[in-house]
């Protein structure tokens, strides 16, 4: 299993799982939040970047954009059984995100699912610029 990076802090909350993520840029924050969600799902060290997909997400505000972004990735995981391991946000503003992600189809002989995420929630959701520079997000997952 890959070691947990210093910018990712797991959050405990009743029946939910969550993450706190810090990053230098907004693009990096959204990339790391996606990576952190899949880190909660599986051992990312076993996932290969075999296929690439493009995503465009629209929402009203950074918090909604983060929920829509992670929800779309989780939907593809749940319905099409994909695991993603590489995330690149190519464009972002308060209402729009365009990204490229890579991963592969779930293979039960190689991948262990640790937590199935039912939903990305708005509960205690935060996306904010830090006074000292950089960005921070907190997001909870219904598992």
Q: How many residues does the structure list for the chain?
A: 143
Tell me the percentage of the chain whose pLDDT exceeds 90: 89
pLDDT tens by residue, 21-80: 999 999 999 999 999 999 999 999 999 999 999 999 999 999 999 999 999 999 999 999
Residue 14: pLDDT over 80: no
Domain ranges of the chain: 9-142
> pTM to 2 decimals?
0.96
Q: Which CATH superfamily is domain 9-142 in?
A: Archease domain (3.55.10.10)
Report the chain's mean pLDDT, rounded to a whole number. 95
pLDDT (0 to 100) of residue 106: 97
Measured distance CA(101)–CA(84) in Å, rounded: 7
Residue 1: pLDDT over 80: no
């Amino acid at each position: 299993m890959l070691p947990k990076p210093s910018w990712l802090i797991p959050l405990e909350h009743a029946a939910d799982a969550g993450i706190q993520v810090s990053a230098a840029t907004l693009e990096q924050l959204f990339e790391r939040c996606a990576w952190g969600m899949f880190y909660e799902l599986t051992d990312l060290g076993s996932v290969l970047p075999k296929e690439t997909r493009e995503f465009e997400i629209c929402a009203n505000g950074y918090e909604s954009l983060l929920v829509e972004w992670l929800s779309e990735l989780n939907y593809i995981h749940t319905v099409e059984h994909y695991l993603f391991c590489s995330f690149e946000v190519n464009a972002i503003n308060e209402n729009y995100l365009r990204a490229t992600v890579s991963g592969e189809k779930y293979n039960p002989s190689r991948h262990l699912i640790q937590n199935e995420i039912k939903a990305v929630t708005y509960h205690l959701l935060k996306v904010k610029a830090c006074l000292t520079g950089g960005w921070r997000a907190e997001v909870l997952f219904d598992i």
